[in-house]
Structure 1
Amino acid sequence: MSEVFKSIKNMDISNAKWIDTRFSLQDSESGRKKFEEGHSNGAIYWHLENDLSDMTKKTGRHPLPDKETLTSLFRKSGLDLDDRILIYDDGGSPFAARAWWILQYGGFQNSFIVTEGFEELAAHGVPVSRNAVMPEQSNVVPVWDDAIFASCEFVEMTVEGKTGNVLLDARSAERYRGEVEPIDPIAGRIPGALNFDWEQLKKDGSFNLHVEVGEQLSRVVKKDEEVVVYCGSGVTAAPLFAMLKQNGYEHVKLYVGSFSDWISREIVEVEKG
């Protein structure tokens, strides 16, 4: 079983590098404002839209930056591959998981999602500062793990039954069934996909690391299956990817473009019901 999530209650924070990823989909600058008001001492801030997405691309609502852009982000953040990296948000949010997935994609194997949000970290005595840090730039060369990335073409082959993978939709059951669609112009799901609402990963506002979540996951997909997770724009699927890895699933990919990319193709295939 891979350890993906860490709790401040049993964590050594010495010599760790912190990344603050607080964000709100309703107010894109609220996270940065919170960071300026106080953050874990020495933390840098990664913005969902400015750092963890390339909003100029047309491949979904939160497209993945290219490898050159991500390499630049890693370097200006002062990161090296063997760094111990702790990532937090407000707790129970998908943004730290998005950053964690990108770090895993880049080969930063010693990175973790902190289960507690910033306020709880501060309450547990993690040193807090309002001072912005300018890390010394690194010369890191990422070791890309393309095995955890699913392209639209790979998903198309999966729908055609050519990859042996299982598609797993992280959105709510209502959106999965196509009964409601508050964001995207077309309702429904990628054909053949199963459903596991990412909100089920949480309990009392934090990610639930107890065995019951693993049992719930195993009732939908088996550990020996190869899984591709997606959501609306690739953000809320990241904690589902992380929780699958936490529970011992070895073969998991993230379709970063997700449903918003899928329905942008010339030929749109969706299922409902």
Structure 2
Amino acid sequence: MNAKEYIESRLEGPKPEIGLILGSGLGVLADEIESPVVIPYKDIPGFPASTVAGHKGQLVIGTLEGRTVLAMQGRFHFYEGYSMDLVTKPVRVMQELGMEKLLVTNAAGGINEAFEAGNLMLITDHINQFGTNPLIGENQDEHGPRFPDMSEAYSRAWGSKAAAAARNRGITLREGVYVGTTGPSYETPAEVRMLRTLGGDAVGMSTVPEVVAAKHGGMEVLGISCISNMAAGILDQPLTHDEVMETTEKVKQDFLTLVKDIISQG
């Protein structure tokens, strides 16, 4: 039995229509899912374990704001030593299950000096600084074309709905370019200055591989970053993962409200 078949065997209702990837400290959204079917990653054929604090390591499938969703409560990272194939495997399984939409979230460091810790940022585009790409190797034609177009990696139409939802709720939603790096070390001040020169507004250690795989498979993507801290060199203070978790806890209510509104609109 493969991952798709195993997940299908556990479903108790309609197939999920929207996939959610919940980043560090943001897995609380999965606790809002009604009539949940919870599947630990360790039970799913071919899935590795999630080893990072703030990542529970399970799928939660059920109803959120009237839509059937499949949420990853924690993700897999390249820096954990997993291959790009494993990092993006959940996205491929979502595609095999028939999902056409993916909402991806992360905690990120702010590069744009107009940002503040606790801001939410709508991802308008990304820069791949991983030094590799999940599509390297033999192309799987059943997933998508050899050379997929990435001119609109993040859906402008879906992003416009998200921005409108934020305005209606009085939630400040920044917009910007996300830079994906390997980690696990945080960036140096010199690297942050470089990334700002390249056009980055926020930096993190995830998201880019999943979005590349999602677009390769024809999914519509929306991305939201929680600016959990300002990147190195902007404020005179060291960076820690504890700070990331503390900030995501503070912004939790705005995050929940916004994402639930986005889901309700489809």
Same fold (TM over 0.5): no
Greater radius of gyration (CA)? 1
TM-score, scaled to structure 1: 0.28
